[in-house]
Amino acid sequence: MDSVKGLVLRSTGSRHEVLTDEGVISCTIRGKFRLQEEDATNPVVIGDRVDIQINNDGSGVIVERMERHGKLSRRAAGRKVGREHVLIANLDKAWVVQSVRKPRMNPGFIDRFLVMAEYRGIEAGIILNKMDLMDERAEDYIAFFVELYSGLGYPMMFTSIETGEGIEELRSAMDSGIHVLVGPSGVGKSSLLNALRPNLELRTGGISESTQKGKHTTTYAELVPIGALRMDAGFIGDTPGLREFGLVDIQAGELSHYFVEFRDHLNECRFPNCTHDHEPGCRIKELVDEDVLAVERYESYINMLRSVQLGDQDVGR
């Protein structure tokens, strides 16, 4: 039987909604294929590219999964310690969302996020939301970090749900590939997703007035299209559990490699295994003293180094 190429949009237990050129098809997974994936807790997740066969009744069966790139995972809860639980496959870009105020921009959170993105080889960007709340007190603080992160090469977007500032620019930045929004609660992730999501009510149908007015809460994983629902559209992956974008698996000795501006100087320290902490002849500390490297980033580095050394790997606290 001929198979059709698809993209997994939603995953709810054993049912997978797969987008194909012929529309969205509700699929199960072929048992044999599932058995081949013993190492993963979930053989098919949102973002997976799959081959499906279409049944006579219009439903489908996933018969093959393409190799994944840029996956995002957390350690699985349950018996097997360290088992990987993939949340989203084929992630192209992760955006950390922060707000100008309420809550105030948190560079420590941003740095942890950037380190994780560098470690996983995922492109990273920064969204600064609630631009309408900018005031004189916030201005200098924010301007400093905007210059810092832009200087490191991370793209920055400036948005406001209140005024609509930056929303179309953000939509353009996401018009292809699979993206996620990561950030502490209250910064406006759900608001941004809803602003970018076209025709939510039309698509889900039959939802009550009160639900429409209420906050969108994530109870299942899905890819939300930015614009028309097509296989080559841009998508935002919305999945519970993204908070645990932790420092999983990073060793103290390699942490500095994920601070992009440290990289060029790592072999200039006196000791090859320098952790840039207390060691003499540390070039990184020298460059911080000379104001070549930002002390704010160095402090983030030291905080993360302590977390990694203590085995405390949570992000964003």
Ligand X SMILES: Nc1nc2c(ncn2[C@@H]2O[C@H](COP(=O)(O)OP(=O)(O)O)[C@@H](O)[C@H]2O)c(=O)[nH]1
Q: Where does this chain bind Zn ion (CB under 5 A)?
A: 269, 274, 276, 282, 284
- Residue 120 binds which of Mg ion, ligand X, Zn ion, none (CB < 5-8 A, kind-dependent): none
Closest to ligand X by CB, 167 vs 229, is: 167
Q: Which residue is nearest to Mg ion (CB)?
A: 190
Q: Is 129 in the site for ligand X (CB under 6 A)?
A: yes
Q: Is 167 in the site for ligand X (CB under 6 A)?
A: no
Binding residue for ligand X, selected from 20, 160, 239, 300, defined by CB under 6 A: 160
Q: Say whether 191 sits in a helix, a strand or coil.
A: helix
Cα 13 from Cα 312, distance rounded (Å): 31
Q: Is 190 in the site for Mg ion (CB under 5 A)?
A: yes
What type of residue sits at position 40? A
- Residue 129 binds which of Mg ion, ligand X, Zn ion, none (CB < 5-8 A, kind-dependent): ligand X
Cα 117 from Cα 122, distance rounded (Å): 5
3-state SS string over 132-161?
HHCCHHHHHHHHHHHHHHHHCCCCEEECCC
Contact (Cβ atoms closer than 8 angstroms) between residue 166 and residue 131: yes
Structure tokens at 42: 């979930």
Bridge partners (DSSP) listed for residue 61? 28, 53
Q: Is 106 in the site for ligand X (CB under 6 A)?
A: no
Q: Is 225 in the site for ligand X (CB under 6 A)?
A: no
Close Cβ partners of 209 (under 8 Å, ≥ 6 residues apart) = none
Structure tokens at 177: 């590939």
Q: Is 191 in the site for ligand X (CB under 6 A)?
A: yes
Closest to ligand X by CB, 86 vs 181, is: 181
Residues that bind ligand X (CB under 6 A): 129-130, 132-133, 160-162, 183, 185-191, 215
